[in-house]
A and B are shown apart, each in its own frame.
Chain A
Amino acid sequence: MKEVNNLALVDDDSVFVFITSKIIKQSNMVRNLQVFENGMDALTFLKENPDKHDLLPDIILLDLSMPIMDGWQFLDEYAKLNIRKTITIYICSSSISPGDLNKAKSINAVSEYIIKPISKEKIVEIIHRCHTRNGGRHLSN
């Protein structure tokens, strides 16, 4: 039973992407898993598809420390976009620095700061939350 159409991982860490993808696939709750290696790739995708709600992610798990364009720069650029679809952004970073945590709090677009490692339970929880917010409609397989 898929609860969410698109979930995007924006992370350059191939091991994290590998294991998180496995967990998400196992949960069987997400129809499409999108992976972007850095903020720039994700941003380009959003810019190219601003109106295509079925392509845009419902949830983004955003890493902070990435090459080319890091998570903060992505959030800066994201704020300038005109996208009408509600995208829930979670920062998912290994950083425990209070500076990063506080900065995340000050950004409206960020729903929550998840410190890596992320557990299967947490992933299930955020998908559920998104599903409930969307009115609990079950997506047809």
Chain B
Amino acid sequence: MERNTSNFGAHAGNTVDASQLMNGFGLEIQSLVPELTEKEQRNIITYYELNKAHAPEYQEEALKEFQDHPVWGPIISGMSMEMMEAQNKYNELLQEAAIYKKDWLPYLKHLVEQGAVYARMGVNFKDWVEVVLLARKYFVRMLEKDHPTDAEMVLNCTQGMNHLTDIALYAIGESYVIEEKKKVEQKRQEYTHLLEVKNTQLVDFCNIVSHNLRAPLANIMMLIDFIDHNDDEEEKKEVFTKIRPVVNHLSEVFNELVESVQVRQDTDVRSSKLELEKFLKKTLQGFEAQIQSYKADIKYDFTEAPEVIFPPKYLDSLFTNLISNALKYKSPDRKPVITLKSEKTADGVILSVADNGLGIDLNMHKHNLFKIRKVFHKHPDAKGFGLFMVKTQVEAMRGNIWVESTPGTGSTFFVEFKNETDV
């Protein structure tokens, strides 16, 4: 009844690239090739020939037996007779090469491939074992019925069947091991990537604490030290007035840091489908005065990808920061033109915000552009928090942000939104 285990061969629509599947696993397959004694070889042949002789009637009976099986039933009924016959024929060819010519590898590879197909369909290895055990019982029953007097033949034949189906089961089991390994490897790669991202964020964060929190603290220490070691009351007073602004600054940086940490840990933040045009118009209302006084021209084309999946709060922050930057760093020589465009990608949307402003020298500032409290222009409003926050928010949603720029010509910021952002 070995036939039954492999009858449920490659399923409709599931094609497997054998070379891809075997890649890297050749050794495992090789190790499945059985070393048979002469007696085992004889028994297997006895079984195989008997089974082949009775194939049509056995098969019909066997199909009845399995049609109600919760897992195999639907699979069998999903296959046409022609398909099943073609598969049986192919299987038979490979089995014969294995049994008579000891050419096991093609047959074993075939089994491993089939196992992989079913593994991916969600069939458990347990179901394979079950179907083989059922088939064995059924075959012995038929054998005893057809050959009631020849006990030795029945025994030899049963042993041959058990042996051959064991070999097949091991091969199918191997495909489950391979599939499992692949899954583990994939998970491992995902986690490694996640760890790398987290580590970069952590290093960034340490740098921020080191640079941005320690600086005002050091100032306070120096100011107080000076007051302590000086007698001139006037001078003391003057130095004393410097303390409060530093404390305010410290508190500001501290709050920004807390805010950025909250974004990273904001598991409650939910994405929804957002209309870019609607959001942009809302954001532009806040810039109306600036746009009018600069005579800024703001164009947009969201026809290709009118929506993104993103938290509303973050999209608001993104538009606000990018528009505000584009206006803030406008060129003194021309009126500002800001062009927004959205494009579809395989798994999301890329939004670009282009301006004709001062531009950024990326050779010098590439590494610092999105960092906290980094400014690149001698501009009184430059604070260096906006882009840092936008990057934090975009990355928290598994997106990306980058910039292309030519000094004196303008900058284009790109934001990549991923379709599935829920972690």
Residues of A within 8 A of B (CB): 13, 15-16, 18-20, 22-23, 64-65, 67-70, 73, 93-97, 99-100, 116-120
CB neighbours of A94 from chain B (8 A)? 210-211, 214-215, 217-218
Indicate which residue in B211, B246, B376, B378 contacts A15 across the interface (CB closer than 8 Å). Answer: B246
Say how far B301's CB is from chain A's closest CB, in angstroms.
34
Q: How far is the CA of A68 from the CA of B203 in the complex (A)?
A: 23
Residue of B nearest to A73 (CB): B364
Name B206-251 residues within 8 Å CB distance of A. 206-207, 210-212, 214-219, 221-223, 225-226, 229, 235, 239, 242, 245-246
Residues of B within 8 A of A (CB): 203, 206-207, 210-212, 214-219, 221-223, 225-226, 229, 235, 239, 242, 245-246, 364, 368, 373-378, 382, 384
Say how far B225's CB is from chain A's closest CB, in angstroms.
7
* B215 contacts A13, C-beta separation under 8 Å: yes
* B375 contacts A67, C-beta separation under 8 Å: yes
Q: How far is the CA of A117 from the CA of B229 in the complex (A)?
A: 15
8 additional A-B pairs beyond A94-B211, A95-B207, A116-B218, beta carbons within 8 Å, are: A15-B246, A19-B226, A19-B239, A19-B242, A97-B210, A100-B210, A116-B214, A117-B219
CB neighbours of A116 from chain B (8 A)? 214-215, 218-219, 222
Q: Evaluate whether A19 and B219 lie within 8 angstroms (CB atoms) in the complex, with A67-B374, A68-B378 already known.
A: yes
CB neighbours of B203 from chain A (8 A)? 99
Say how far A83's CB is from chain B's closest CB, in angstroms.
22
Residue of A nearest to B221 (CB): A117
Q: How far is the CA of A69 from the CA of B226 in the complex (A)?
A: 30
Q: How far is the CA of A126 from the CA of B353 in the complex (A)?
A: 50
Indicate which residue in B214, B229, B377 contacts A120 across the interface (CB closer than 8 Å). Answer: B229
Q: Evaluate whether A15 and B210 lie within 8 angstroms (CB atoms) in the complex, with A22-B239, A65-B215, A68-B378 already known.
A: no
Residue of A nearest to B207 (CB): A97
Residue of B nearest to A12 (CB): B375
Q: How far is the CA of A20 from the CA of B223 in the complex (A)?
A: 9
Q: How far is the CA of A97 from the CA of B246 in the complex (A)?
A: 22
Dominant SS among interface residues on chain B:
helix
CB neighbours of B242 from chain A (8 A)? 15, 18-19
* B239 contacts A65, C-beta separation under 8 Å: no
CB neighbours of A23 from chain B (8 A)? 222, 226
Say how far A92's CB is from chain B's closest CB, in angstroms.
10
Residue of A nearest to B364 (CB): A73
Say how far A121's CB is from chain B's closest CB, in angstroms.
11
Say how far B15's CB is from chain A's closest CB, in angstroms.
51
CB neighbours of B223 from chain A (8 A)? 15, 19
CB neighbours of B225 from chain A (8 A)? 117, 119-120
CB neighbours of A18 from chain B (8 A)? 242
Q: How far is the CA of A23 from the CA of B210 in the complex (A)?
A: 24
Indicate which residue in A16, A67, A93, A95 contacts B219 across the interface (CB closer than 8 Å). Answer: A16
Say how far B408's CB is from chain A's closest CB, in angstroms.
16
- Of all A-B residue pairs in the complex, the 6 with the closest CB atoms, nearest first, are A116-B218, A94-B215, A94-B214, A117-B218, A117-B221, A67-B375
* B368 contacts A70, C-beta separation under 8 Å: yes
Determine which residue in B219, B229, B246, B382 has the highest number of CB atoms from chain A within 10 A of its CB, and name it. Answer: B219
Say how far B367's CB is from chain A's closest CB, in angstroms.
10
Q: How far is the CA of A116 from the CA of B207 in the complex (A)?
A: 15
CB neighbours of B217 from chain A (8 A)? 94
Q: How far is the CA of A70 from the CA of B210 in the complex (A)?
A: 16
CB neighbours of B229 from chain A (8 A)? 120
* A15 contacts B207, C-beta separation under 8 Å: no
CB neighbours of A100 from chain B (8 A)? 210
Q: How far is the CA of A16 from the CA of B216 in the complex (A)?
A: 9
Q: How far is the CA of A2 from the CA of B349 in the complex (A)?
A: 65
Q: How far is the CA of A1 from the CA of B235 in the complex (A)?
A: 23
